[in-house]
Amino acid sequence: MSPKIKVNKQAIIEAATHLVRTQGHEHLNARSLATHLHCSTQPIFSNFENMEEVKMAVVEAAQALYESYIEEDTKSGLYPPYKASGMAYIRFALEEKALFKLLFMRDRTAEEIPEETELGKTVTAMVEQNTGLDTPMAQLFHMEMWAFVHGIATMVATDYLTLDMKLVSRMITDVYQGLLRRFEQTKETE
């Protein structure tokens, strides 16, 4: 008789993340996860209280991966840090479509969403430093830029549109410069 394979928490998270990557988050359930792990559902519920806890662990794993994209694009030096965060967002949508949808395109009405995260504060500070805008204006500037970047990322993640990353870079620069001009004119007229 062969020894029973022990399935640990990390293996479950990795398998669940793989399932989401390949089939989408709507297909993650105890049965599909157990099948993928070649075990019963017992190890899953020995390590997690319920499937909601497993799903949140996948969200955390996806968030960590997304943050590594930002870090990688920022450190690459190809773009200024603020632009690098937008390019990383779109690259994540392109390369990790299912995880992007899980993080940024799921129904979040039942979730408590923090008003501002550490990443959001960092981004606002970057905009303030780069543009000279005060905090409320920098937040609005970022919201408008993010809406544009999110639109591109959503089209890429849903295969609605295929864009070359050089063109994406140019588009982001054009919108950034146009917004900056508009915000600077607004400051002058106040």
pLDDT in tens, the chain (190 residues): 455 557 899 999 999 999 999 999 999 999 999 999 999 999 999 999 999 999 999 999 999 999 999 999 999 999 999 999 999 999 999 999 999 999 999 888 887 777 666 667 788 888 999 999 999 999 999 999 999 999 999 999 999 999 999 999 999 999 999 999 998 887 766 6
Q: What is the pLDDT of residue 115?
A: 67
Determine the Cα–Cα distance for residues 95 and 64; give it in Å rounded to an integer. Answer: 15
> Does the predicted model carry a pTM greater than 0.85?
yes
Q: What is the mean pLDDT of the chain?
A: 91
Q: Contact 153/90 with Cβ under 8 angstroms?
A: yes
pLDDT of residue 186: 78
Q: Tell me, what's the pLDDT at 1? A: 47
Q: Report the pLDDT value the prediction gives residue 95, as an integer from 0 to 100.
A: 97
Given this model, what pLDDT does residue 189 score?
65
For the structural domain made of 1-62, what CATH number should be given? 1.10.10
Question: How many Cα atoms occupy the beta-carbon half-sphere of 122 within 13 Å?
Answer: 9
CB proximity list for 91: less than 8 A, separation 6 or greater? 69, 73, 165
User: For position 163, what pLDDT does the model report?
Assistant: 92
Which residues, other chains included, contact 65 with Cβ-Cβ below 8 Å and sequence gap of 6+? 92, 96, 99
| Furthest-apart CA atoms within the chain: distance in Å | 82
**Numbered ranges of CATH 1.10.10 in the chain:** 1-62
